[in-house]
Structure 1
Amino acid sequence: MKLKTIDQTIQINATAEKVWKALWDKEHYKKWATAYMPGSHYTGDLKQGNRIKFLDPNNNGMESNVESLTEHREITFHHLHELEIGKEGQSLGNMREKYTLDEQNGTTTLSLSSEMPEEYFNEMDEATKKALLIIKELAEA
C-alpha cells in the first residue's frame, strides 16, 4: 500500500483550549467529521495508549491507538486496521494522523498531517479543507 501524506494548516482566532474542544468534544467532532462522511463519530476515551474507533453510521471505519497526547497541544493516532460492521478488517500498517495546536497571543495554528493510501488522497485532501473550516467556525463561535 503506497501512502501519501496530507499536510494542512489553518489559523483560528481562538485559544488552543477552544480549538481542542472543537476537535474532540464528541458532539463537535460529529459536526466537522461530516466533511468526510455524514454520521461519523468516535467511541472510546482520548487517553494515551487507549484504543479509539472512528466509525460511520454502519459501524464501518477504523480502530486506532492514541499514540501520543498532550492536551491542547498535540495528538497522534496510529491507525491499526479497518473495521467492517464493527469487525476487524484489513491492517492499515503504519498509517498515522497527527493534530498539532500552536497558540500565539490567542490565535491557534492547527496543523493536520494524515497518511493515507494514494488512491484516496485527492478526495481526502478536499474533505480535510472542508473539515478544517468547520473546526475554525466551531472554535471561533
Structure 2
Amino acid sequence: MKTLHFDILIHAPREHVWRSTLFSPTYERWTATFSEGSRYEGSWEAGTPIRFCGPNGDGMVAEIAEHRPAEFVSIRHLGMVTNGVEDTTSEAVRAWTPCFENYTFSDEAGGTRVRVDVDVFGTHEDWMAQTWPEALLALKAVCETPT
C-alpha cells in the first residue's frame, strides 16, 4: 500500500484549524470536496468507532487510533458501509485494511501547517492525488473566512 502526503499552511491558530477540520458544521463544508453531503457518525475520541458516510449512508467504517487534540489524529480505516451494513471481513476489504489517514497540526509562522498522510489502495491513487489538494484548499478557505 502506498502513502500519499499533502500539506498546507493555513493562516489561523492551530486550535481553530483543528476544530474546523474535525467538527460540524465546518467538517461537512471542506469534506464536500470528496462527496457532497459527507458526514461522520461517532466520536473523535481515541479507541472509538467512527463512520464516514455520504448522504445515502454508504461509506467507510473506522476507529480513531490516536488523538492528541490540536496536534494529531490518526484514523484507522477498517471497512466499508454499504446499504447500512458494515463489511470488515470480506476478501475485498481485507485486501486494503487497515489503512490510515493521519492529520498533524503544527504551528508555523503566520498560522498552522496541516499535514495529511493517507494510505491509498487499488485504483484510488489518482483520484486521491487530485482531490486532497482541492480539499485542503477548501479547509483553508473555511478556516481563514471570518465567521
Q: What's the TM-score bracket when you normalise by the shorter of the two chains?
A: over 0.9
TM, length-normalised to structure 2: 0.89
Cα distance, 1:105 vs structure 2: 4.4
Match of 1:60 among 58, 65, 70: 58
In the alignment, which residue of structure 2 is the partner of 1:126?
Answer: 130
**Structure 2 unmatched ranges of 5 or more:** 88-92
Superposed CA RMSD in Å reads 1.2
AA in 2 matched with 1:85 = N
AA in 2 matched with 1:98 = N
Match of 2:84 among 83, 86, 93: 86
User: Does the 8 Å CA contact 1:4/1:118 hold for their aligned counterparts?
Assistant: no
Match of 1:30 among 7, 28, 32: 28
Cα distance, 1:104 vs structure 2: 3.0
User: Does the 8 Å CA contact 1:63/1:81 hold for their aligned counterparts?
Assistant: yes
In the alignment, which residue of structure 2 is the partner of 1:111?
Answer: 115
Match of 2:40 among 35, 39, 42: 42
**Structure 1 unmatched ranges of 5 or more:** none
C-alpha separation between the residues in 1 aligned to 2:42 and 2:110? Answer: 30
User: Does the 8 Å CA contact 1:36/1:127 hold for their aligned counterparts?
Assistant: yes
C-alpha separation between the residues in 1 aligned to 2:64 and 2:143? Answer: 23
TM, length-normalised to structure 1: 0.93
Aligned residues with identical type, % of pairs: 26
* Runs of at least 4 residues off by over 2 Å: 89-92
Farther off after superposition, 85-94 or 20-29: 85-94
C-alpha separation between the residues in 2 aligned to 1:86 and 1:73? Answer: 32
The DSSP-based 3-state class of the residue aligned with 1:6 is strand
- Number of residue equivalences: 139
